[in-house]
Amino acid sequence: MKSILIIIFLFFTLIGNAQSNKKILRKINKFQKELNLKFLDPKTTILDSLDQLSFKGLEFYTASSKYYIKARFKRTPNEIPFLMKTSTDRLPEYVKYGEAHFEMENKKIVLNIYQNIKYSKIDEFKNDLFLPFTDFTSGDGSYGGGRYIDLKIPNDGFIVIDFNKSYNPYCAYSQRFSCPIPPEENDISLRIEAGIKNFKEH
């Protein structure tokens, strides 16, 4: 009887995990579709005029629930605001809001999560957080200047980081922009083969 109950439990656990993975993949596909539409629309695209003519769509790594991470979130309330380096002489003010702690491929990883001081004072953006990072694909599959993930202030001690939703700085598409450079602390010593791939050299 006990073995039957274990089998039933495992069966429903597998079904639950499969349904959860499908839900995650649907959200990723929605994100990628919306990003492509933004680039295809002449009214919202950031592409230079010549690139618009030949643009067919953005390239992404194959979506995988492996890169959907529920990380432990550690708030760091006493951090001093600083000026984040960018690809130009612009220096936007950020503060380290907290840390994300998780494991991937048997490695313990800690990433700093930031909040833009200017936008934190605007109601529409006051809950927004910013995760810039680099990894072993940077310059070898993904944009050399790193990638970004947009996050929200979590309600509990965990924060979801979906690397499948990582996107390129605008500088990956045009030199017209000024883009934050991911701090060295957020360099991941792994190949994060998730999210957007490199567009082309600029």
In a domain, 201, yes or no: no
Q: 18 pLDDT exceeds 70?
A: no
Please give the pLDDT value at position 165: 98
Rounded to a whole number, what is the distance in angstroms from the first to the last CA of the chain? 65
The CA distances from residue 135 to 23, 78, 111, in Å, are 27, 28, 12
Q: Please give the structure tokens belonging to residue 10.
A: 């495992």
Average pLDDT of the chain, as a whole number: 92
| Res 21: pLDDT | 84
Q: Give the pLDDT score at 1.
A: 56
In a domain, 197, yes or no: no
Separation between Cα atoms, residue 110 and residue 73, nearest integer Å:
10
Give the C-alpha separation, 111 to 4, whole Å: 43
Non-local CB neighbours of 39 within 8 Å, separated by 6+ positions: 45, 46, 47, 55, 57, 58
Judged against a pLDDT cut of 50, whether residue 9 lies above it is answered with no
Can you give the pLDDT at residue 201?
Answer: 53
Residue numbers of the domain that contains 178: 2-186
Q: Which residues pair with 158 in a beta bridge?
A: 72
198 in a structural domain:
no
Q: What is the pLDDT of residue 2?
A: 58
**12 in any annotated domain:** yes
pLDDT digits 0-9 by tens, 99-138: 999 999 999 999 999 999 999 999 999 999 999 999 999 9
92 three-class SS: coil
Q: Specify if 72 maps to a domain.
A: yes
pTM beyond 0.75: the answer is yes
pLDDT per position as a tens digit, 136-167: 999 999 999 999 999 999 999 999 999 999 99
Residue 5 scores a pLDDT above 60: no
How confident is the model at residue 15, as a pLDDT? 47
pLDDT of the residue at 132 = 99
* Res 7 pLDDT > 70: no
Domains: count for the chain? 1
Residue 19 has pLDDT above 60, yes or no: no
Q: Residue 199 falls within a domain, yes or no?
A: no
Range 51-57 average pLDDT: 94
What is the Cα 38 distance to its own chain's centre? 17
For residue 191, is it within any domain? no
Looking at residue 138, its pLDDT comes to: 98
- The predicted model gives 4-15 an average pLDDT of 48
User: Residue 25 CA to chain centroid, in angstroms?
Assistant: 15
Q: With respect to residue 119, please indicate whether it lies within any of the assigned structural domains.
A: yes
Q: Are 59 and 155 in contact (CB under 8 A)?
A: no
